[in-house]
Amino acid sequence: MTSTHRAYPWLAMGLMLAVCIAIVLSTGLGFIPITPAEVVRVIASRLTGDTGLTAGLDPVFSYVVLDVRLPRILAAVGVGAGLAICGVLFQGLLLNPLADPYTLGISSGAAFGASVALLADGTLLGHLPVPLFAFAGAMAALVVVLWLASHDGQLSANTLILSGVIVGAILAAGISFMKYLADEQVGVIVFWLMGSFAGRTWAQVGVVFATVLAGLLVAVYYGRDLNIIALGSRTSDSLGVETGRVRKILLVAASLLVGVCVSVSGIIGFIGLIVPHLMRMVAGPDNRRLTVVAALAGGLLLLMADTVTRAVLPAEVPIGVLTALIGGPFFCYIFRRRGAFHG
């Protein structure tokens, strides 16, 4: 029908290809440079079990590619995709183009939950599952933010962001207090909180990809309902959408995604804000298409950002700092432009 409809398959395929190329290229970058062809040979050798493919290669390449770089790189792709999906879901559900796990304070909630689990490690409580605590923290933060922002069942866009910022600030203080209580592990937590993919494991990659895939399926399944919810809940009810039920399912799915993403990488802001916006401009606002391309673009963007911090900059900068430096000004830009629209 419109140009965005025709462009969509090309956009999705192009992004898919770009993600694959970026994975191969970034795997080659780093302290030990490896050519893209060698990277492909190592990966292909592992996938097919054909050891002949790696004949003549330095054996350390195989270790660097498979055990050091790929888990980190795939974790970045997965978390980027997950955060972008969350952004699409929160923006669509809350009818708010400024919503994202970070601006809503939900990432802070997840980080608070994860910090509790991390600090409890080695105490009487023993080993606690970090992703589960991050999910619980994300849900709790979401519930509080929605409660703060709602009046007579109405959610105002700016009040929502304000509530998110307030809750985020309180939780940040809570995290600082925990850091103060447990000064031994502070180093680990501080770096993790600022966001990092260093030293991720294949197990974490597996958890992230499984969650992201599930989140993507749920988001696409309810994609048309989410489109209609943008017309307001009274209208969506009158169009046969079970608005309350769909909203709950998608909010829980998004919080679960945030919990898993934060437990793997710490707080990485603004990916969920920037990516859905950019993709809406090229793919249109239909959430069934938007979720797919946003997931791909989110993975691509976060991988590129992580590669910059890992292999380009002289010292490793926490990736959350980098995304905030890019995303903050972008938020300001949208905020101003939206003001112009809404009067």
Partner 1 sequence: MVENTGFLLHDVHFAYGDKAALRGVDLTLPLGRFYGVVGPNGCGKSTLLDVLMANRQPRQGRVLLDGAAVGHHGRRQLARQVALVPQDFAIPFAFTVLEVVLMGRHPYLPRFGTPTAADLDCAEQAMAALGIAELRERSVTGLSGGEKQRVVVARALAQDTPILLLDEATSNLDIRHTLEIFQVARERVRHGRTVIAVVHNLNLAAAYCDEMVFLDEGRVAAAGPTATTLTSTTIAEVFGVESRVARDDFCGTLQVSFRYGD
Q: Which of residues 95-114 bind partner 1 (CB under 8 A)?
A: 95-97
Which residue shows structure tokens 């992230």? 208
What CA–CA distance (Å, rounded) separates 224 from 98?
A: 21
Do the bridges between strand 154-155 and strand 150-151 make them parallel or antiparallel, or are there none, so unpaired? antiparallel
Q: Which of residues 282-321 bind partner 1 (CB under 8 A)?
A: 284-286
Q: Nearer to partner 1 by C-beta: 1 or 203?
A: 1
User: Which tokens in the block code for residue 324?
Assistant: 């905030």
> How many Cβ atoms from other residues are within 10 Å of residue 161's Cβ?
22
- The answer to the question of residue 227 lying near partner 1 (CB under 8 A) is yes
Among 46, 158, 237, 311, binds partner 1 (CB under 8 A): 237
Helix (H, G, I), strand (E, B) or coil at 52: helix
Backbone angles phi, psi at 275, to 5 degrees: -65, -50
Q: Of 34-42, 174-182, 183-191, 238-246, which segment contacts partner 1 by CB under 8 A?
A: 238-246
Which residue shows structure tokens 């980080």? 111
Q: Of 162-170, 174-182, 225-233, 292-300, which segment contacts partner 1 by CB under 8 A?
A: 225-233
CB of 179 to partner 1, least distance (A): 38
- The answer to the question of residue 246 lying near partner 1 (CB under 8 A) is no
Paired residues of 192 in beta bridges: none
Q: Of 32-40, 102-110, 233-241, 267-275, which segment contacts partner 1 by CB under 8 A?
A: 233-241
Task: Give the x-and-dash track for 114-153 against partner 1 (CB under 8 A).
Answer: --------------------------------------x-
Among 127, 151, 234, 336, binds partner 1 (CB under 8 A): 234
Helix (H, G, I), strand (E, B) or coil at 229: helix
- The answer to the question of residue 235 lying near partner 1 (CB under 8 A) is yes
Residue type, 309: T
- Asked whether 294 and 85 are in contact (CB, 8 A), the reply is yes
CB of 47 to partner 1, least distance (A): 32
- Asked whether 193 and 266 are in contact (CB, 8 A), the reply is yes
Which residue shows structure tokens 């048309």? 224
> How many Cβ atoms from other residues are within 10 Å of residue 342's Cβ?
8
Among 72, 200, 280, 289, binds partner 1 (CB under 8 A): 280
> From its phi and psi, is residue 232 left (phi > 0), alpha (psi between -120 and 50) or beta?
left
CB of 285 to partner 1, least distance (A): 4
Q: Nearer to partner 1 by C-beta: 234 or 336?
A: 234
Q: Which residues bind partner 1 (CB under 8 A)?
A: 1-2, 92, 95-97, 152, 157, 221, 224, 227-228, 230-232, 234-235, 237-242, 280, 284-286, 341
